[in-house]
Structure 1
Amino acid sequence: MDTEHVLELAEESDTLEFGRRLGGLLRAGDLVLLDGPLGAGKTVLTRGIAAGLGVAGRITSPTFVIARVHRPERGTGPALVHVDAYRLGGLDEIDDLDLDTDLTEAAVVVEWGAGMAERLADELLLVRLRRRADDVRELVLEPRGESWRRRVDELG
């Protein structure tokens, strides 16, 4: 049985720092799905993940281009494929992105991916983000698979 881990992140810098720590654990083949309403912090978390991976370039939501590839600055580690599934019409359009191929060489982070992208990998991390009325972000980490359970435990 997979377990949930709940974290509270009071400041945007906390979200970035958590993302850096998560990004430091990612490797090629990893799938991270981000779920939450507008303004919950999905793109901020992805910026932190990118920093943890050491990728180059500015990280913005790929809402209109759907997906962006960011390469590691130092040439080591996996690339980051950052996907925004908000405008996608369903599973067929996810398939059209050929993300399963990207998973062989990159870590893939999919904003708005819950309910659509789970079938891309047997093991994945689902991160549910919520912004409370007091502006604190709550992250619920749902690891799926043994590898992710171990890594989520490492995150503390």
Structure 2
Amino acid sequence: MDRYGSEKGLFVSSRVRIPDDELEEAFIRSAGPGGQNVNKVATAVQLRFRASASSVLSDDVKTRLLKLAGSRATKEGEILLEASRHRTQERNRQDARDRLVALVREALVPPPPPRRKTRPTRGSVERRLDAKKGRSDTKRMRGRVDD
């Protein structure tokens, strides 16, 4: 059991828990820290999440998630995260899961509504033009004085 959930899946929010059968982990040799151990032990983690086939995410969340994933998303709609920052397999596994949770949480937030264009009121336009005219008069008065 890790800090994000139990055997039932990966806890993202109070409403979203990704089931374990939608996640696939593969352990590979790491190029990161570890000394001679790097050449012997597969400590890096490749975490695959089948986002397009997910049963817990809505279609618009899936679309946002794949867009946020960028180059980490495959053509088949999977998200592939690699973690090799740490020396141990377990910490790399947790790091990959943390990054996936952060990505899904970001995708769960809907985008703000588009901005509606507004026009300035007649009064605000007149006030702006009056201020410009007053400033212009002030600057014109600074010029050379003719008799």
Q: TM-score, normalised by structure 2?
A: 0.23
Larger Rg: 2
Which structure is higher in RCO with an 8 Å CA cutoff and minimum separation 6?
1
Comparing both structures, which one devotes a greater share of its residues to strand? 1
Comparing both structures, which one devotes a greater share of its residues to helix? 2
